[in-house]
Amino acid sequence: MQPLPPADPYAAPDFLPIARGEIVSAAAGKNLMANAWQTGRTSIIPPADDPRTRLIDRALVTHGLLTPEDLAEIHRVGAEYARLKPSLENVALQAGFAGEAAVQAYREAKERLKQLKREEAARRKNERAEAVQRRRDTDVIFLGRGVSGRLHLRLSDPDRLAEYGLPVLHAPAEVAAALGLSIKQLRWLAFHTEAATRTHYVKFQVPKRSGGVRTLAAPHATLKRVQHWILEHVVSKFPVTEPAHGFVPGRGILSNATPHVGKAVVVNLDLSDFFPSVTFPRVRAVFERHGYSGSVATVFALLCTECPRTSATYAGTPYEVAIGPRGLPQGAPTSPGLSNQVARRLDKRLTGLAAKLGFAFTRYADDLTFSGDPEQAEKVGYLLSRVRHLAAEEGFTVNEKKTRVMRRNAAQTVTGIVVNDKPSVSRELLRQLRAILHRARAEGLDAQNRAGRENFRAWLDGTISFVAMVRPDVGAKLRAEYNALSERSS
C-alpha cells in the first residue's frame, strides 16, 4: 500500500469555518492572490478543486453568504458549463458564420431588389418616352407657353359645324391630315415661341397714303398655303354682319360708300392698329364659337396669328424677339376675314347706335363711316363720344388724328370715293391720270414715274381699274388709252 500524502493544514473539510487571518495567511502562503486567467479557467464559475476557489468557498460559508448546498449546486453548474462550453463555442461560431451568411444574403437580396427597381424604373421611363414620342408623332399636346391651355379639348360640335358648312375636325391630328401636313410640320408652323431664330413671315414696308410706312408680314409658302386652305374651307363660310364691306365677296369700297351718297354730313373714324388688336384669344374664340373644339380652335388661331417682333442678338445668334401679344398679321390672307368676325359685336352695337341717332353706318376693315341728314348734324359730337366708348369696350381704339367730319360744302370721301352727289372719284385723281396718259404719248409710260413708285405700271393699271369701278364711262376711256400706250411701248 502506498503511503498517504502528507496532511495539508488547509485540506480540512471544504466548508469548515475559517477566520479572516487564516484566509489572508493561506492566500499569501500558497500564492492564491492569482486571478482566474492564471488558473487556466476563464469561465464565470471557477473549478471546485482549485485551492483558491476552496478558500473562497470556505470564506463564503463562514460569513453566511452561501450554504454548502448552494456552493455544491454552483460548482455542478460550473462543471456542466465547462463540459458544454466547447460545443457552445462551436455553436456560436457556426451561428456567427450563419449570421454573416444571412447578412450577406440579405445584402445580395437587397441589391437584387434595387437592381430590379432600377430596371423597372428604366423600363417605365423608356415606356413613357416611347409613349410621349408616339403621341408626339400622332398628336399635338403642347404648342408653347400661354397658348396651350385648351389643347386637351377634343370634341367639336358636328351639328354646329354642319350648320355653317364647315369641315368636321375634332383634334390636331385631323387638322394636319386636312391640311396635308405631318404632325411635325403642323407643330412647326403653329408653335408659339417668344424668341425664334426663324419665323414664318417675311416683313416689308409699304408707304401709306397719309404718309409714313406700313409694316406688312407675308407668310412663307407653306404657311401661306395653309392659311389659304383655312380661308377657303373655314373662314369664308362664317356669316358676316351687314355693315361690314371689307374683304367680303360681293361687297367692296363702292358698296361701302354708296349708303352715304348725298348726305348732309359724313363722319369717318379710323381704328388704330386694327389687325394687331385682334389677338390670339379673340381669334381662338371665333373658331370655338362656330363649333370647333378647343384644340382645333387653338391650332387654327396659332396658324393665323403672329407676334410683332424685333431683331436681337444673343451670344452671337440672331433672334426675332416678340415685343407684343400674338395678333392678326397684316399680309396674311386670313386676317381680313377673321377681323370681320372679331368685330361682329362692334358692328352690331354701332349699327344700333346709328339707328337710334338716325345715321347710316358701314365699316370697311378699320374704317368706320356714319352719315346723316341735316337733322343729324347736331348729334355728331354725341355720336363720336359713344363710338369711342363702344370701340374701347370691344377691344379697339379710335385714332383721333384720323377722325373727319365732312359737310356738303366740301368733298365728302368714303374709302377713296367721293359721295357728295353720286359715287365718283376725286378731280385731282382724274387730272393726274389724264396728265400721265397725255405725256406718255410723247415720252412713254415708264418716263411718267415721277413719284418713283416701285411698280409704276401695276399702280397705274390698278388706279384705272378703280376709276372704272366707280365711273365706268370715264374708266373705259382711260383703259382704252392705257392699253394702246402699253402695246406701243411693249
Q: Taking each helix axis from N to C terminus, what angle separates 335-342 and 280-289, rounded to the nearest 10 degrees?
A: 80
Q: Are residues 67 and 127 in the same domain?
A: no
* Within a domain: 97: no
Report d(CA 412, CA 490) in Å as an integer.
Answer: 39
Residue among 266, 264, 245, 265 at smallest CA distance from 255: 245
Q: What is the pLDDT of residue 75?
A: 86
Q: What is the pLDDT of residue 305?
A: 98
* Within a domain: 169: yes
Q: What is the pLDDT of residue 434?
A: 92
Report d(CA 382, CA 380) in Å as an integer.
Answer: 6
pLDDT in tens, 454-482: 788 888 999 999 999 988 999 899 999 88
**Beta strand residue intervals within 351-403, DSSP E:** 360-364, 367-372
Q: Are residues 198 and 308 in the same domain?
A: yes
* Within a domain: 231: yes
Residue among 337, 361, 330, 357 at smallest CA distance from 347: 361
Identify which has the larger pLDDT, 167 or 215: 167
Q: Is the pTM of this model over 0.85?
A: no
Q: Are residues 23 and 118 in the same domain?
A: no
* Within a domain: 94: no
Q: Are residues 144 and 122 in the same domain?
A: no
* Within a domain: 93: no
Give the cell for residue 392. 374701347
What b/e string do you get for 260-271 counting C-beta neighbours within 10 Å, with b at 16 or more?
A: bbebebbbbbbb
Find out whether 23 and 10 touch, Cβ atoms under 8 Å.
no
Find out whether 285 and 398 touch, Cβ atoms under 8 Å.
no
In the chain, the percentage of residues whose pLDDT exceeds 90 is 65
* Within a domain: 83: no
Grade residue 490 by pLDDT with cuts at 50, 70 and 90: low
Identify which has the larger pLDDT, 305 or 65: 305
Helix (H/G/I), strand (E/B), else coil: 306: strand
Largest CA distance in the chain: 174
Grade residue 32 by pLDDT with cuts at 50, 70 and 90: low
Find out whether 211 and 161 touch, Cβ atoms under 8 Å.
no
Q: Of 402, 424, 446, which residue sits at a domain end?
A: 424
**pLDDT at 382 exceeding the cut of 80:** yes
Q: Are residues 155 and 290 in the same domain?
A: yes
* Within a domain: 86: no
Domain that holds residue 311: 139-237+279-327
Q: Are residues 403 and 453 in the same domain?
A: no
Q: Are residues 348 and 459 in the same domain?
A: no
Q: Looking at the 3D structure of the chain, how many domains does it have?
A: 5
> Which CATH number fits the domain that encloses residue 380?
3.30.70.270
Q: Are residues 373 and 314 in the same domain?
A: no
Terminal Cα distance for the chain, rounded: 164
Q: Are residues 206 and 292 in the same domain?
A: yes
**pLDDT at 451 exceeding the cut of 50:** yes
Report d(CA 414, CA 476) in Å as an integer.
Answer: 23
Q: Are residues 354 and 294 in the same domain?
A: no
**pLDDT at 40 exceeding the cut of 70:** no
Mention every residue, 6+ apart, whose C-beta is less than 8 A from residue 330: 214, 215, 216, 217, 275
- Mean of all residue pLDDT scores within the chain: 89
**pLDDT at 9 exceeding the cut of 50:** no
Q: Are residues 229 and 370 in the same domain?
A: no
Report d(CA 373, CA 265) in Å as an integer.
Answer: 7
What b/e string do you get for 87-97 counting C-beta neighbours within 10 Å, with b at 16 or more?
A: eeeeeeeeeee
Q: What is the pLDDT of residue 132?
A: 84
Find out whether 418 and 426 touch, Cβ atoms under 8 Å.
yes
Amino acid identity for residue 42 in this structure: T
Grade residue 2 by pLDDT with cuts at 50, 70 and 90: very low
* Within a domain: 89: no
Q: Taking each helix axis from N to C terminus, what angle separates 294-304 and 183-190, rounded to the nearest 10 degrees?
A: 60
Q: Of 424, 448, 477, which residue sits at a domain end?
A: 424
Q: Are residues 371 and 318 in the same domain?
A: no
Tally of CA atoms within 13 A in the half-sphere of 78 that contains its CB? 17
